[in-house]
Amino acid sequence: MNKMNSKVKELAKMIDHSILHPTLTDEDLRRECEVAKKYDVASVCVKPYAVKQAVELLKGSDVLVGCVIGFPAGNSAIEVKVFETEQACLDGAVEIDMVINIGKALQGDWEYITREIKSVTDVCHKHNTIVKVIFETDFITQTEDKIKLCEICTDAGADFVKTSTGFGFVKQPDGSYNYTGATLEDLKLMRKHSGINVQVKAAGGVRTLEDLLNVKETGATRSGATATIQMLEAASEKFGNG
């Protein structure tokens, strides 16, 4: 993958390689950062304690380091999210993926949500860091709520709206838990109702080259992924290496 054609490289630069599972160790972090470097993706998305290590591991590459905030349930107080964001930026993160307070959104407390998103966005921009705001669309299911969140993010100056964490597990009829993650319908809705300066990121359930191409078709410019190798190897086969 040292030599990629422009189409494959364009797809690689859509990918935020996710290194977020609770069980991942430092050795897993090293391995996945090597994957990110090899395939020259847009960024890695790591847990807060791992930012410094990821920055060191990716030194000399074009892969950016992103960090999740209030992950995955979004329940931290605003002040804690602000502090966590500040620390991540100081540790070297240049992209922040924050989870909103889901309960506050579901009850329609838009003043709280506005204050939360604006507070984190302002800290990010102070550090020349971009912010992606995660709605968690497995929980925020009403169209009007998603539209309202897009409008709030636009007014707050957020850089991205993002569908999901990939950990929004919902109890299924058989008693098991699973999630849907990004849907093309949600991505189109978010693109339509977000300002021109706000980009859209898919996350959760994007596992194949076809998924990634479909995401791109909606106007989304980033996608979280753990299946990075499979998707980009498939892209290389489809579009060629030269």
Query: Over the stretch 25-60, which tens digit does the pLDDT of each residue have?
Result: 999 999 999 999 999 999 999 999 999 999 999 999
Q: What is the CATH number of the domain that holds 116?
A: 3.20.20.70
What are the strands, taking DSSP E only, across the chain? 15-19, 43-46, 64-69, 95-99, 130-134, 160-162, 170-171, 177-178, 199-202, 222-225
Residue 1 has pLDDT above 60, yes or no: no
Q: What angle do CA 47, 51, 208 make, to 5 degrees?
A: 55
216 has catalytic annotation: no
**Quick check: bond before 72 cis, omega within 30?**
yes
pLDDT digits (tens, 9 = 90+) for 114-158: 999 999 999 999 999 999 999 999 999 999 999 999 999 999 999
Is there a domain that residue 11 lies in?
yes
User: How many domains, the chain?
Assistant: 1
Average pLDDT of span 54-77: 97
Q: What is the pLDDT of residue 5?
A: 86
Q: In this predicted structure, what is the pLDDT of residue 94? A: 98
Q: Is 238 labeled as catalytic in the residue annotation?
A: no
Q: Is residue 145 part of a domain?
A: yes
CB 15 within 8 A of CB 223: yes
Res. 241: pLDDT tops 80: no
How many percent of the chain have pLDDT more than 90? 91
Distance from C-alpha of 81 to C-alpha of 123, rounded to nearest angstrom: 10
- For residue 21, pLDDT beyond 80: yes
Domain boundaries, position 41: 6-239
Residue 1 belongs to a domain: no
Q: Report pLDDT digits (tens) over 187-229.
A: 999 999 999 999 999 999 999 999 999 999 999 999 999 999 9
Computed over every residue of the chain, the mean pLDDT equals 96
Instruction: Say which of 81, 132, 146, 162 is annotated catalytic.
Output: 162
pLDDT at site 240: 75
Query: Is 162 a known active-site residue?
Result: yes
Among the listed residues 97, 145, 186, 211, the single catalytic one is: 97
Mean pLDDT of 95-107: 98
Question: 42 near 65, Cβ under 8 Å?
Answer: no
pLDDT at 178: 87
